[in-house]
């Protein structure tokens, strides 16, 4: 199955959650250990939610879904998410 | 509560680009400006409250509160046929953005740039070309893959800019129908096309590739195979084949 989008399009949906621009952050895959820029993740969606997978091993790294009163964010597949800090 | 970043925007002008692509000029309140390559999310709300949003690349440089996007109409699309055909001047949508910090070119970058576009993947790359004129002398090469000459978005402007903007070269790849005088037979973009119209890897160009997912994957693999460093390849995929 071909991914419908890539992580660039997560910028808007994740701007509701993060104070910084998150597509330049580095996601470390909990499955294979590969470091990927969030913009490079393979993204499937948009409904019922967005699912971002590791470009190396296809493991699910991030899921984000919006319901009527909540945003659900699942980062369980990531070993870490390294965000660029201001001034860093 | 999470904050909401949507702002109202009204359509002020529309321009046909091809039979299926239309440029929309939107006026938003308090637009903070944007970088070439960034996108916006456009949200529509139906009378019954149903909402749908999609991402569109910004096509033109910062111009006050005006934002241009070029929308390719997808036959079975939920949002693009409405934007391309039905949205009228003075109609309102909502915008979120500017968005994205990775698929971005900044005029202070000095290195050579290769832009590779598939279909409407030209849109964010056109924003880079338009911003470059007058702000940068970084050498740019564009390879633009389209099905047929009629599918070229911004064709006249690209012809003019390749003659007038010093340091901008434009090469066309036709996948189904080529112009009569084109020595290249129609076919998908190949490593030979990249070698003929791109930069050698040792020039250390930054490469921006945008198009349907299959196109982007294929071009990125060719670039890696010819020795381009993965850290200098930036990709943006918008689905499809």
With vertex at residue B205, the alpha carbon angle to CA B190 and CA B155, rounded to the nearest 5 degrees, is 60
- Flag whether pLDDT at A3 surpasses 90: no
Would you state the pLDDT for residue B132?
Answer: 98
Q: How far apart are CA A17 and CA A7, in angstroms?
A: 15
- B52 phi, psi to nearest 5 deg: -140, 140
Would you state the pLDDT for residue A2?
Answer: 61
What does the pLDDT average to over A58-85?
Answer: 94
Where do the CATH 2.40.30.10 domains begin and end in chain B?
7-99
Where do the CATH 3.40.50.80 domains begin and end in chain B?
113-237
Which helix or strand (DSSP H or E) is residue A51 part of? strand A50-53
Distances (CA, A) of B136 to B107, B130, B236: 6, 10, 23
Would you state the pLDDT for residue B241?
Answer: 41
User: How far apart are the CA of A45 and the nearest CA of chain B, in angstroms?
Assistant: 10
B235 touches chain A (CB under 8 A): yes
| Helices and strands (H, E) in chain A, number of each type | 1, 8
Cβ–Cβ gap B100/A71 under 8 Å: no
Q: Which residue has the tokens 């913009």?
A: A39
Contacts of A21 in chain B (CB under 8 A): 100-101
User: Is the bond preceding residue B221 a cis peptide, omega within 30 degrees?
Assistant: no
With vertex at residue B167, the alpha carbon angle to CA B161 and CA B173, rounded to the nearest 5 degrees, is 65
Q: What rounded mean pLDDT belongs to chain B?
A: 95
User: How far apart are the CA of A4 and the nearest CA of chain B, in angstroms?
Assistant: 4
What does the pLDDT average to over B6-14?
Answer: 97
- Flag whether pLDDT at A28 surpasses 60: yes
Sorting pLDDT into bands at 50, 70 and 90, what band is A72? very high
The number of C-alpha atoms within 13 Å of B41 and in the hemisphere containing its C-beta is 23
User: How far apart are the CA of B6 and the nearest CA of chain A, in angstroms?
Assistant: 10
- Flag whether pLDDT at B13 surpasses 80: yes
Percent residues over pLDDT 90 in chain B: 91
Q: How far apart are CA B144 and CA B122, in angstroms?
A: 7
pTM of the model: 0.95
Contacts of B40 in chain A (CB under 8 A): 12
B2 touches chain A (CB under 8 A): yes
Contacts of A6 in chain B (CB under 8 A): 213, 216, 235-237
What does the pLDDT average to over A60-74?
Answer: 94
Give the model confidence (pLDDT) of B52-63 as tens digits: 999 999 999 999
Token pair of A56, please?
Answer: 């190396």
Contacts of B41 in chain A (CB under 8 A): 12
**The domain made up of B113-237 is a member of CATH 3.90.650.10:** no
Give the model confidence (pLDDT) of B142-189 as tens digits: 999 999 999 999 999 999 999 999 999 999 999 999 999 999 999 999
What does the pLDDT average to over B1-22?
Answer: 90
For residues B14 and B22, the answer to whether their CB atoms sit within 8 Å is yes
Would you state the pLDDT for residue B222?
Answer: 98
Give the model confidence (pLDDT) of B85-128 as tens digits: 999 999 999 999 999 999 999 999 999 999 999 999 999 999 99
A37 touches chain B (CB under 8 A): yes
Q: How far apart are CA B112 and CA A66, in angstroms?
A: 41
Mutate to test the interface with B, among A2, A8, A45 (most CBs of B within 10 A): A8
Q: What rounded mean pLDDT belongs to chain A?
A: 92
Q: How far apart are CA B134 and CA B240, in angstroms?
A: 35
> Which of A42-51, B20-29, B141-150, B214-223 has the weakest average pLDDT?
A42-51
A5 touches chain B (CB under 8 A): yes
User: Is the bond preceding residue B17 a cis peptide, omega within 30 degrees?
Assistant: no
- Flag whether pLDDT at A16 surpasses 90: no
A4 touches chain B (CB under 8 A): yes
Token pair of B149, please?
Answer: 């000459």
- Flag whether pLDDT at B3 surpasses 70: no
B53 strand-pairing partners: B43
A82 touches chain B (CB under 8 A): no
Q: What is the DSSP string of chain B?
A: ------EEEEEEEEEE-SSSEEEEEEEETT-----TT-EEEEEEE-TTS-EEEEEEEB-S--BTTEEEEEEEPPTT-SSHHIIIII--TT-EEEEEEEE-SSS---TT--S-EEEEEEGGGHHHHHHHHHHHTTT----EEEEEEESSGGG-TTHHHHHHHHHHSTTEEEEEEESS---TT-SSPS----HHHHHHHS--GGG--EEEEEESHHHHHHHHHHHHHTT--GGGEEEEE----
Sorting pLDDT into bands at 50, 70 and 90, what band is A45? confident
Superfamily of B7-99 according to CATH: Translation factors (2.40.30.10)
Would you state the pLDDT for residue B78?
Answer: 87
Residue boundaries of the structural domains of chain A: 5-82
B118 strand-pairing partners: B145
User: How far apart are the CA of B168 and the nearest CA of chain A, in angstroms?
Assistant: 26
What does the pLDDT average to over B7-19?
Answer: 97
Would you mind telling me the total number of residues written for chain A in this entry?
Answer: 88
Q: Give the ipTM of the model, two decimals please.
A: 0.92
Q: Which residue has the tokens 């569109």?
A: B56
Sheet of strand A42-44, all strands in order from the earlier edge strand to the far edge: A5-6, A42-44, A50-53, A60-66, A71-74
Mutate to test the interface with A, among B93, B102, B121 (most CBs of A within 10 A): B102
């Amino acid at each position: 199955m071909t991914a419908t989008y890539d992580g660039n399009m997560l910028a808007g949906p994740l701007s509701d959650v993060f104070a910084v621009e998150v597509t330049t952050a580095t996601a470390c895959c909990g499955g294979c250990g590969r470091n990927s820029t969030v913009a490079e993740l393979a993204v499937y969606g948009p409904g019922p939610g967005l699912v971002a997978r590791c470009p190396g091993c296809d493991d699910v790294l991030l899921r984000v879904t919006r319901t009527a009163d909540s945003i659900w964010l699942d980062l369980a597949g990531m070993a870490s998410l390294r965000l660029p800090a201001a001034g860093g | 509560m999470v904050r909401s970043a949507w702002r109202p925007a009204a359509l002020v002008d529309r321009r046909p680009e091809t039979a299926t692509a239309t440029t929309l000029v939107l006026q938003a309140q308090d637009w903070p400006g944007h970088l070439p390559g960034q996108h916006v999310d456009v949200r529509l709300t139906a009378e019954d409250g149903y909402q749908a949003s999609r991402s569109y690349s910004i096509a033109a440089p910062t111009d006050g509160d005006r934002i241009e996007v070029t929308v390719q109409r997808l036959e079975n699309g939920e949002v693009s046929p409405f934007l391309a055909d039905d949205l009228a001047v003075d109609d309102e949508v909502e915008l979120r953005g500017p968005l994205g910090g990775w698929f971005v070119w900044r005029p202070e970058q000095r290195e050579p740039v290769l832009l590779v576009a598939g279909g409407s993947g030209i849109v964010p790359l056109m924003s880079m070309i338009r911003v470059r004129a007058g702000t940068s002398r970084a050498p740019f090469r564009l390879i633009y893959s389209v099905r047929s000459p009629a599918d070229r978005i911004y064709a006249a402007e690209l012809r003019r800019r390749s003659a007038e903007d010093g340091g901008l070269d434009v090469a066309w790849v036709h996948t189904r129908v080529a112009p009569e005088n084109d020595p290249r037979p129609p076919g998908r973009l190949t490593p030979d096309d990249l070698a003929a119209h791109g930069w050698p890897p040792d020039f250390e160009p930054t490469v921006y590739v945008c198009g349907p997912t299959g196109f982007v994957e294929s071009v990125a693999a060719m670039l890696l195979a010819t020795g381009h460093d993965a850290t200098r390849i930036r990709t943006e995929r918008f689905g499809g084949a």
